[in-house]
Amino acid sequence: MQVVVFGATGQVGKQLVKQALYKGYAVKAFGRNVFTTDLPKDDNLELIQGALFDEKDVYNALKGCNVVLSALGGAFDGTDVTRSLGIKNIIKQMQKVGLKRIIAVGGMGILNAEDGTLLIDGEDYPQQYIPVGREHLKAYEALKASNLDWTFVCCPDIIDAEATGEFITKADYPPVPNKYQINTGNLALFMLNEAIKNEFVQHRVGISN
């Protein structure tokens, strides 16, 4: 299998690269700083320095791949549109290439509350997370409107820690019990497992340690 990791230099992206290589996959690591970031040295790893908003860069990175893994990050104050516009360009180029499968990282606020509304729309949702939550919502809406086989992993607080293999998931809703944290290693492990199992195609996923 050949996978491409967008946001490969972030905490989640590094775990995706490391674990995918461990599984023996051919990996393309895409980002602005891939040559100056401490990524593994491996014959199966191709470093691609490119701009997320550049159509040609993204198109070329997608060619030959089976699965897209998106771990796009950015600021939390709403001024950074990397998540929403970046995913839109990835979707557009995937459709041109003919690639269908994408697993992307989002935020917990985009999951359903018990009454069927979104958590982000609740009165008690933390105000500091609303701007980035709106970015995640735009990314989710773009995926939902596409013809792709997408999975949107809606994460609580992401902790920079290795995989333990102990985590829970639920389609479209927060998992129960919910510890409101997920290790980067466990998140990457879930995403790579989902690339094979395809249990949550065209679903959001709640996840927790």
The domains of the chain, with CATH numbers, are 2-208 (3.40.50.720)
Residue with tokens 């920079």: 160
Digit-coded pLDDT (tens) for 95-111: 999 999 999 999 999 99
Contacts 24+ apart (CB under 8 A), 41-50: 45/17, 45/21, 48/4
Q: CB-based burial of residue 127 (10 Å sphere; 0-12 exposed, 13-18 middle, 19+ buried)?
A: exposed
User: For residue 15, what is the enclosing H or E element?
Assistant: helix 11-22
Cβ-Cβ contacts under 8 Å for 44 (sequence gap 6 or more): 21, 24, 25, 26, 27
How high is the pLDDT of residue 88?
A: 97
Measured CA angle at 185 (ends 135, 59), to 5 deg: 50
Q: What is the pTM (predicted TM-score) of this model?
A: 0.96
pLDDT in tens, the chain (209 residues): 999 999 999 999 999 999 999 999 999 999 989 998 889 999 999 999 999 999 999 999 999 999 999 999 876 666 678 888 999 999 999 999 999 999 999 999 999 999 989 999 998 888 888 989 999 999 999 999 999 999 999 999 999 999 999 999 999 999 999 999 999 999 999 999 999 999 999 999 999 99
Residue 70 and residue 87 in contact, taking contact as beta carbons nearer than 8 Å: yes
Digit-coded pLDDT (tens) for 10-19: 999 999 999 9
How high is the pLDDT of residue 76?
A: 63
How high is the pLDDT of residue 37?
A: 85
Cβ neighbours, 10 Å, residue 153: 25
Average pLDDT taken over every residue of the chain? 95
Q: How far apart are CA 114 and CA 112, in angstroms?
A: 7
Q: How far from each other are the two terminal CA atoms of the chain, in whole angstroms?
A: 27
